[in-house]
């Protein structure tokens, strides 16, 4: 199998090298990729949408359909992880362990029994290691700033590098960092499973809903200029605002999908202490 694989790889590589000989040289301004369609986007983005970041206007306006279905793909991936792991693997274990925080004594309870709600006991698993104070404290200091930066990246996607996808990933990473530095239960207290599962389709619906709103106002799907009558601005500014609404939807969907996938995979669907 290794030799067959090597032969296939070398033949494919040889074809690609042969094809690459005809390609334009690196950083050639007259390459076919940069001559036909992309000058239109660069020259007309400010006129059409008043968004200085051409990547954002291209992402959410000119190629709005593509991005909407990319968001749907991300949502579907999160849903698949949930179905594969959580539905079949989410059984409660036979015994549960509680640790008394002050003395370090561990209490083991059989299934069905519960300890009264109190601050003194914390739920732990079979493999428990004491959390590191330095890691916990430094992560707790960093996480608010990471989230602030994520919101900045989403909000300033119009005029600087950024947007819904990047900001959403940063926001998701802040919650994942909390889950890594503390444990998954702490992160789930901040961002509950139901909240994640509800916010994810809401993010996709904000995107599709903006498009449908345009449809109801009498123009094409995702033609944001129709929002001018709702927002009381001129059609070009309405496109800019429409792009922002869509970016918020993308940001929510991406953030929750990242958290959803991490929660399911790190605990194999059991939602215990995680990694």
Q: How far apart are CA 56 and CA 189, in angstroms?
A: 34
Integer CA distances (angstroms), 226 to 23, 38, 198, 261, in order: 42, 25, 29, 36
Q: Which is nearer to other proteins, 37 or 198 (CB)?
A: 37
Tell me how far the alpha carbon of residue 122 is from its chain's centroid: 30
Q: Is 52 in the site for other proteins (CB under 8 A)?
A: yes
From candidates 144, 154, 257, 273, binder to other proteins by CB under 8 A: 257
Binding segment toward other proteins, per CB under 8 A, in 42-50, 115-123, 146-154, 198-206: 42-50
Nearer to other proteins, 58 or 245 (CB): 58
109 contacts other proteins (rule: CB under 8 A): no
Stretch that binds other proteins, among 48-56, 105-113, 126-134, 195-203 (CB under 8 A): 48-56
Closest CA to 168 of 241, 79, 78, 85: 78
Asked whether the beta carbons of 168 and 250 are under 8 A apart, the reply is yes
Site string for other proteins, 56-75 (x = CB under 8 A): --xx---x--xx--x--xx-
Question: Which residues in 110-139 contact other proteins (CB under 8 A)?
Answer: none
Q: Which is nearer to other proteins, 132 or 234 (CB)?
A: 234
Question: Which residue reads 């003395």 in tokens?
Answer: 103
8 binds other proteins (CB under 8 A): yes
Per CB under 8 A, the list member of 93, 131, 144, 161 interacting with other proteins is: 161
Shortest CB 114 distance to other proteins, Å: 27
**CA 151 to CA 161: how far, in whole Å?**
13
Across the strands, what pairs with 124?
97
Burial track 73-107 (b if 16+ CB lie within 10 A, e otherwise):
ebbeebeebbeebbeeeeeeeeebbbbeeeeeeee
Residues binding other proteins: number (CB under 8 A): 72
Give the bridge partners for 123, in sequence order: 98
Scan residues 71-100 and list those touching other proteins (CB under 8 A).
Answer: 73-74, 77-78, 80-81, 84-85, 88-89
3-state SS, residue 221: coil
Residue 39: CB minimum distance to other proteins, A: 3
Binding segment for other proteins (CB under 8 A), chosen from 49-57, 105-113, 123-131, 185-193, is 49-57
Report residue 206: phi and psi, to 5°.
-60, -45
């Amino acid at each position: 199998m290794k030799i067959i694989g090597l032969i296939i790889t070398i033949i494919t590589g040889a074809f690609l090298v042969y094809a690459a000989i005809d390609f334009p040289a690196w950083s050639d301004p007259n390459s076919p990729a940069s001559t036909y369609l992309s000058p239109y986007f660069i020259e007309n983005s400010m006129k059409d949408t008043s968004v200085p970041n051409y990547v954002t206007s291209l992402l959410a306006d000119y190629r709005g359909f593509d991005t909407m279905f990319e968001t749907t793909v991300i949502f579907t991936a999160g849903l698949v992880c949930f179905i594969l792991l959580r539905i079949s693997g989410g059984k409660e274990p036979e015994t549960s362990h509680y640790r008394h925080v002050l003395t370090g004594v561990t209490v083991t309870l059989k299934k069905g029994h519960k300890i009264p709600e109190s601050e003194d006991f914390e739920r732990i698993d079979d493999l428990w290691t004491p959390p590191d104070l330095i890691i916990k404290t430094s992560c707790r200091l960093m996480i608010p700033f990471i989230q602030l930066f994520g919101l900045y990246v989403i909000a300033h996607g119009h005029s600087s590098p950024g947007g819904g996808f990047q900001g959403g990933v940063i926001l998701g990473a802040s919650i994942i960092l909390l889950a890594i530095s503390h444990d998954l239960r702490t992160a789930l207290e901040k961002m509950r499973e139901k909240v994640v599962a509800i916010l994810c389709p809401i993010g996709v619906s904000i995107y599709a809903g903006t498009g449908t709103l345009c449809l109801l106002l009498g123009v094409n799907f995702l033609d944001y200029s129709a929002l001018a009558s709702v927002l009381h601005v001129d059609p070009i500014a309405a496109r800019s605002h429409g792009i922002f609404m869509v970016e918020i939807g993308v940001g929510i969907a991406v953030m929750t999908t990242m958290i959803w996938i991490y929660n399911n995979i790190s605990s194999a669907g059991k939602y215990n202490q995680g990694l």
